Chains A and B, each alone.
Chain A
Amino acid sequence: MIEAALAVEQLKLRRSALVRTTTALLVLGVPALVAGLSAAATRAAPGSALAVKAGALGAAQGWPAYLGLVGQALAVAALLGTGVVVAWCFGREFTDGTITSLFALPVSRAATATAKCAVLTAWGLAVVAAVPVVAVLGGLLIGLGAPGADALAPGLRAAAVGALSVLLAQPVGLAASAGRGPLPAVGALLLVVVLTQVVTALGAGAWFPYAAPGLWAGAGGPQAADGVRALHLALVPLVALIGHVATATWWARAQVV
């Protein structure tokens, strides 16, 4: 019966205006923002306020720097964007009152929760995979020229950072379920973002799964990026898996009270 749950959840996601908007913001908005910053850094008069500010944000000339900045932007944007969609996907069942319709069905509630996790993860990964592709088009538009071999690694890293952020958004489903609505989950998401800043400032970022992708993307500088090991990044899928299992367990035991 998981096929039925997958089909229904996929349809709900496909029809959602929030999902369409978030997809557009991530796929078009992130490359547009970074391309704009990079253009400002390279085209503004040297020493001008605009050039200084864009430079401070990490914008610089050339494909590696440009795609590196895409990765850094995606680390935050993919977490927030997909986190909001995850919060909606689970939380709306409570605020719309449709949760009662998901009881007393041959599709178990654990199967429904698992189907939600599966379609959300698949959607998020597809979106972040498209971002570097669109970013390349943006790079061409701002005159970076044809990308060389040196663009491949930062492009792949940007996609990987986005994928890790999508995975990190998955436990938001548990917060939306336990909080019985999207808003508590969005609050939890913002709290995690703040906590990430604090943990990073304290120097323990690489071991904190929510900080590791951003550091790896270069948000903390080249030295911090080099300090992120495969083991640190491997904690991220574990966080997603724990989130999925905990959410499905919560749904299996849920009551309408």
Chain B
Amino acid sequence: MSAGPEGAPLLAQGLVRSFDLEPAVDGVDLAVGRGQVHALVGLNGAGKSTLMRLLLGMVAPDAGRALVLGQDVTAAPPALWRQVGHLVEAPFAYPELTVRENLCAAGRLHGLEPAAAREAADRLLGDLALDPWADRRSRVLSLGNRQRLGLACALVHRPAVVVLDEPTNAMDPAGVLLVRRLLEVEAGRGAAVLVSSHHLDEVARIADRISVLHRGRVIGVLDPSGVDLERAFFATVYADEAARTGAAT
């Protein structure tokens, strides 16, 4: 299920952000509806992570607005973030804390009371198959399991808006399956999910909508049920490159 752009829980309106005069995000409009998994695909440096950081208020836009549940994130009250979960760049995994302690800490910081945080931690330990490591320090986890922990920490409070940057990074096939199932569950309960990935096969399986980001701009959408997503992706990117080259000459 998806809402129209105006009522979308996660909305980018003409977002622009440059670093050292180099545009990282260059006028992006994007809407993620309730119950929708919206995938962002693009080459390295396309602007996916910067767009997510803008939507989460981690960087301020040079122009445009990022709206979460109808509120501009640059002026959002702290309580708004109670309804948002994210995994961007490094996972929430303090190496000196156990896996369970990390989950409880994430729950507390997302607004859960201590008892609710413990209960949610137990639930997520099962959901992400982290039970065997529950009482081990997170420094001993493999990269894939650290990523699972980060994902669990992002979802511990059942957020209405979920933003995940490369959530399957370093995961084995079993982990990838878990993520896919988890995102289906999140969308099924009505969360708006924005997820970035390099893996076109993977996003084709989980996404309701796929936006192609290239050089900081959304240059097209892909049909998740399309037969050759990779070919369609590169055709979109090359067409954009050709248009830019043509415009420059």
Contact = CB atoms under 8 A, between A and B. Distances in A.
B16 to A, nearest CB: 15
Contacts of B88: 100
| Chain A CB within 10 Å, residue with most, of B56, B60, B90, B91 | B90
Contact of A108 (B19, B78, B84, B108): B78
Nearest to A19: B96
A4 B58 contact: no
Contact of A104 (B57, B89, B96, B97): B57
B111 interface: yes
Interface in A4-23: 4-5, 7-8, 11-12, 15-17
A97 interface: yes
A105 B97 contact: no
| Chain B CB within 10 Å, residue with most, of A17, A96, A105 | A105
A171 B89 CA distance: 28
A256 B88 CA distance: 11
A106 B150 CA distance: 18
A231 interface: no
Interface residues of A, number: 26
A4 B90 CA distance: 21
Interface in A94-123: 96-98, 100-108, 111
B105 A11 contact: yes
A257 B109 contact: no
Contact of A15 (B56, B97, B106): B97
Given A97-B89, A100-B89, A257-B59, A105 B81 contact: yes
A48 interface: no
B153 to A, nearest CB: 7
Interface in B55-86: 56-60, 78-82, 84, 86
A97 B90 contact: yes
Contacts of A257: 19, 59
Given A97-B89, A103-B58, 8 more contacts: A7-B108, A11-B105, A12-B97, A101-B91, A104-B81, A105-B81, A106-B111, A257-B59
Interface of B: 19, 53, 56-60, 78-82, 84, 86, 88-97, 101, 105-106, 108-111, 114, 150, 153
6 contacts: A8-B108, A12-B96, A98-B90, A103-B57, A104-B81, A255-B58
Interface of A: 1, 4-5, 7-8, 11-12, 15-17, 96-98, 100-108, 111, 255-257
